[in-house]
Structure 1
Amino acid sequence: MSTILIIEQVLNGLQFGVMLFLMAAGLTLIFGVMGLINLAHGSLYMTGAFAAAVTAAATGSFLMGLAAALAAAALAGALVELLVIRRLHDKDHLDQVLATFALILIFSEGTRWLYGSFPLYLDIPAALSGPVTLPGGIQYPLYRLTLIGIGIGVALALWGLIARTRLGIRIRAGENDREMIAALGVDISRLYTLVFALGAALAGLAGALVGAIQSVQVGMGEPVLILAFVVIVIGGIGSIKGAFVGALLVGLTDTLGGIFLPELFKLVMEPARATSLGASLASMAIYVLMAAVLIWRPTGLYGARV
């Protein structure tokens, strides 16, 4: 196995990880502040991807597509919070799960009604197409490098928002004692709507960015949602830092496991069987990682100890 292949797969893992972070960050914010299990978060990811694809096709501008993805996902998130989620704050988690699962079906059928059942495609902008030469003569797609940079930039901006602004103080206070900040005059309903819209916008941004390297289709958000839940369990619920570290671990484990495990099994068995077994175990690797982290730290890497 060549060094160039390993470096390329590490970069692929980082790119996958930062995209998972955009999903997981919104999910962990919503759960941390509102205590809500939002199964419809993947539908907001899909909403952003479709909005970006349709807008970019109509205007010829990838940036307009990104702006449309952010706006559409944030608006959809705000409407969902106002019309549905607000009625579930005092309900138990089972009611929240059932209601948000129903939203998945509504989003899926609504998207199919609006855009049809065939996938859409979002072109990579010309300025970011093609490879770039890295040190050592490694050729790597410029767009994927840009995704890594965007993900890291969003992580830093989100950290600054949470740690350095008045809104961030309210969000952190809402995670710890909602009743107290409401008693101090903070409009908790408006805070919930804002947090939900922010989380939805992050999911929509992830959908739009990934939509340029895979097809945009109905149901594309659910597999990513499962991985986002794995990320926040590993990182610790309510922790942005945990979501970032957990996303990178999941991205690297999933990507590198797919190349190292088959090669490892080829040392002891025939290549065809080794490839099949290695690929099967690689798909389980992230769940093994999650189990190992929970055995070591039941609250996740950066979750608050009770």
Structure 2
Amino acid sequence: MSAILIAEQVLNGLQSGVMLFLMAAGLTLIFGVMGLINLAHGSLYMVGAFAAAAVAAATGSFLLALAAALAAAALAGAVVETVVIRRLYDKDHLDQVLATFALILIFSEGTRWIFGSFPLFLDIPPWLSGPVELPGGILYPAYRLALIGVGLAVALGLWLLISRTRLGVRIRAGENDREMIAALGVDISRLYTVVFALGAGLAGLAGALVGAIQSVQVGMGEPVLILAFVVIVIGGIGSIRGALVGALLVGLTDTLGGIFLPELFKLFTDPSSATTIGAALASMSIYVLMAAILVWKPTGLYGARA
């Protein structure tokens, strides 16, 4: 196994991780501030991908498609929070799970009704197509490098928002003591709507960005949602820094495990069986990682509570 292949897989893991971060950051904000288990977060990821594909097909502009994805997912999130989620804050977590699961079905069937059952395709823009030569003779797709850059830029922007702005102060205060900030005159309902729309917009942006390297189809958000839950458990509930670190760990573990584990098992069994066993263990590796971290730190890496 060459060093160039390993470097390429590390970059693939970073790209996968930063896209997971966009999904998990919104989810951990919503769960940390609002205490809400939102299974429909993956549907907002799908909304962003379909909005981007539709706008790109109509206008031919990839940047307009990204803006449409962000706006459509944020608007859908604000509407969902106002109409449905607002009635669930004082409910049991089981009620939240059932209600947001129903939203998954509504979003899936509504998307299928509007766009049909066949996948849509979002083309990579010409100015990001082709490879970039990196040090060491590594040729890596320019679009995937751009995804890494966008994810890290969003992480920096979220950190500045949370730590340096008035809205960030309110978000952090709402996470710690929502009754107190309501008593101090903060409109908690408006704050919740803003937080939910922000999280939804990040999910929609992730869906649009990933949609250019995968097909855009109904149900595409649910597998990513499972990984996003793993990320926030690893990183710690309510922690943006934890979401970033957890997402990078999950992305690298999943990608590198898929390369190294089959090679390892080839030392002990025939190549065909080794590939099958290694692939199965690679898919389990992120959950083994999560279990190991929870044994060491039950609140996650940067979480204040379990």
| Whole-angstrom CA distance in 1 between matches of 2:32 and 2:300 | 14
Pair 105,305 (structure 1): closer, same or farther in 2 beyond 3 Å: closer
**Which residue of the partner structure matches residue 300 of structure 1?**
300
- 1:108-257 correspondence to structure 2 within 5 Å: 108-257=108-257
State whether residues 24 and 231 of structure 2, in contact with CA within 8 Å, keep that contact through their aligned partners in structure 1.
yes
- Superposition deviation, residue 305 in structure 1: 5.0
State whether residues 236 and 305 of structure 2, in contact with CA within 8 Å, keep that contact through their aligned partners in structure 1.
no
- 1:41-56 correspondence to structure 2 within 5 Å: 41-56=41-56
| Whole-angstrom CA distance in 2 between matches of 1:186 and 1:303 | 25
- 1:14-93 correspondence to structure 2 within 5 Å: 14-93=14-93
Q: Secondary structure at the match of 2:237?
A: coil
Q: Under a length normalisation based on structure 2, what TM-score does the superposition of the two structures give?
A: 0.99
RMSD: 0.6
| Whole-angstrom CA distance in 2 between matches of 1:50 and 1:115 | 8
- Superposition deviation, residue 269 in structure 1: 1.0
- Superposition deviation, residue 5 in structure 1: 0.4
Q: What is the one-letter code of the residue matched to 1:231?
A: V
Unaligned runs of 5+ in 2: none
**Which residue of the partner structure matches residue 273 of structure 2?**
273
| Whole-angstrom CA distance in 2 between matches of 1:9 and 1:47 | 29
- Superposition deviation, residue 207 in structure 1: 0.1
| Whole-angstrom CA distance in 2 between matches of 1:30 and 1:272 | 44
Q: Secondary structure at the match of 1:123?
A: coil
Q: Secondary structure at the match of 2:268?
A: coil
Q: What is the one-letter code of the residue matched to 1:224?
A: V
Q: Under a length normalisation based on structure 1, what TM-score does the superposition of the two structures give?
A: 0.99
Q: What is the one-letter code of the residue matched to 1:222?
A: E
How big is each residue's C-alpha offset from its partner over 1:92-136, in whole Å with a ceiling of 9 and x where there is no partner?
100000000000000000000000000000000000000000001
State whether residues 237 and 305 of structure 2, in contact with CA within 8 Å, keep that contact through their aligned partners in structure 1.
no
Q: Secondary structure at the match of 1:217?
A: coil
| Whole-angstrom CA distance in 2 between matches of 1:271 and 1:110 | 45
| Whole-angstrom CA distance in 2 between matches of 1:305 and 1:20 | 22
| Whole-angstrom CA distance in 2 between matches of 1:24 and 1:112 | 25
- Superposition deviation, residue 240 in structure 1: 0.3
How big is each residue's C-alpha offset from its partner over 1:278-306, in whole Å with a ceiling of 9 and x where there is no partner?
00100000000000000000000001158
- Superposition deviation, residue 49 in structure 1: 0.1
Q: What is the one-letter code of the residue matched to 1:114?
A: I
| Whole-angstrom CA distance in 1 between matches of 2:8 and 2:82 | 44
Unaligned runs of 5+ in 1: none
| Whole-angstrom CA distance in 2 between matches of 1:64 and 1:273 | 47
| Whole-angstrom CA distance in 2 between matches of 1:303 and 1:60 | 43
How big is each residue's C-alpha offset from its partner over 1:25-55, in whole Å with a ceiling of 9 and x where there is no partner?
0000000110000000000000000000000
| Whole-angstrom CA distance in 2 between matches of 1:92 and 1:163 | 31
| Whole-angstrom CA distance in 1 between matches of 2:297 and 2:305 | 9
Q: What is the one-letter code of the residue matched to 1:228?
A: A
Q: Secondary structure at the match of 1:174?
A: helix
Q: Secondary structure at the match of 1:186?
A: coil
| Whole-angstrom CA distance in 1 between matches of 2:230 and 2:32 | 15
Instruction: Tell me how many residue pairs correspond in the alignment.
Output: 306
| Whole-angstrom CA distance in 1 between matches of 2:272 and 2:63 | 44
- Superposition deviation, residue 268 in structure 1: 1.2
